[in-house]
Amino acid sequence: MLAWFAVSRLVTLLAFLLLDALGPRGHLASRFYHEPLALLGSWDGVWYGRIAAHGYLLIPGSQSNPAFFPLFPIMLRGLHAVGLPYTAGGAIVSNLSLAVAVVAFYELGCRVLGDRELARRAACFMAVTPMAFVFSMSYPESFALALSVLALLAGLGDRWLLAAALAATAVLARPEAVVLIVPLAAIAWSHRAELDPGARGRALAAVLAAPAAVATYPLYLQWALGDAGAWGQAQKKWGRAFDLSGPFRALVHAPAKMGREPVIARDFAFLLVYAALLAVAARRGVGAEWILGGALVLVLPLFSGSVESEARFGLLALPVYWGAGLLVSGRRSELALRVVSLAVLVGWVIMLPDYWP
């Protein structure tokens, strides 16, 4: 697994070096080129770096940084204090987090599925999945992924306070981690007969930790900016307006948007692929609580009214990797899937100036 992790990161690094060598084009400014791996801090990486350097600022009528959750910028600021540039610090955190996530996900697969070979295939696919170039950028996805998997392992081991701390931390990096409430609740329910009253209270704390942490963000924005609704206001300027009709609007308007923004076609295609892999996992016996958690990772962003970035958001849908592992059974087919995935990964890196993560 670690060998495939290393191969995937080497391929990703070489793809970014190739992109740099091709020179400026598309929507990325020339300042991202011809500096050591500055491209790893492009797109949302720029915003995380600005938050780390200057804090939050809500600009009415403009795209603003309260749309981004705070933990990753806090880490970048801490690493910058010891001499690391923001992009380098973010890339280091992302790559190391992926190594942790791959190994921890293998252990989770062994415990949940009872099949070490399937767990190994799924963990390797996590490292090479076509959107895994994001796991090397100055983005919080791999950090939130590692924390989420570790939180679930802690729950399975009845270490509920640790699970609570990890789940709360994960959700402050990426809000999709709020779906941890589903598998953690299922784990706690399955262990209920073994828990004394004190342990049940700790289990409840772990189950509620992620949604409770989400609720603290508006409170922080009220303290920092004097506006608890700053996150929602900022999201609107990024083209996201959360309401119950969001999924309907996202799916109905997607075909029309594809002509103006081809990236929507990519994200819509990945949404369908992720859904299909969830269906494979469900049909092959993966528990309903895991499938529901993965489905929520895909569905919750749709309430914003857009499918944009679903390809990246879906990276936190754990049963997707199990579904991919279930699709291959032989060494040749497994190797072919990894090679094709890495080839597609390189393609998406090269198209990064126009197809943002």
Segment 221-224 long-range contacts (CB within 8 Å, at least 24 positions apart): 221/56, 221/66, 224/55, 224/56
User: How many CB atoms are closer than 10 A to CB 88?
Assistant: 19
| CA neighbor of 38 nearest in space, from 96, 90, 83, 97 | 90
Query: Cα separation of 70 and 234, whole Å?
Result: 14
**Domain range list for the chain:** 2-227+240-350
**Residue 62 confidence (pLDDT) above 90:** no
Distances (CA, A) of 89 to 140, 146, 174, 357: 12, 17, 18, 19
pLDDT for the residue 251: 87
The 3-state secondary structure of 289-311 reads HHHHHHHHHHHHHHHHCCCCCHH
Residue 172: per-residue pLDDT: 97
Task: Give the span between the Cα atoms of 283 and 41, in whole angstroms.
Answer: 39
Average pLDDT over residues 161-177: 97
- pLDDT tens column, 257-270: 888 888 999 999 99
**How buried is residue 315: exposed, middle or buried, by Cβ count under 10 Å (0-12/13-18/19+)?**
buried
- State pLDDT tens for residues 107-130: 999 999 999 999 999 999 999 999
**CB of 1 closer than 8 Å to CB of 123:** yes
Q: Are 166 and 147 in contact (CB under 8 A)?
A: yes
- The tens digit of pLDDT for each residue in 290-312 reads 999 999 999 999 999 999 999 99
> CA 139, CA 33: separation in Å to the nearest integer?
18
What mean pLDDT comes out for the span 136-148?
Answer: 98
Q: What integer pLDDT is reported at residue 240 of this predicted model?
A: 83
**pLDDT tens, position by position, 342-357:** 999 999 999 999 999 9
- Phi, psi angles (nearest 5°) of residue 262: -60, -20
Residue recorded with tokens 């989420």: 148
Is the pLDDT confidence value at 36 over 80? Answer: no
**pTM across the whole model:** 0.96
pLDDT band for position 241 (cuts 50, 70, 90) = confident
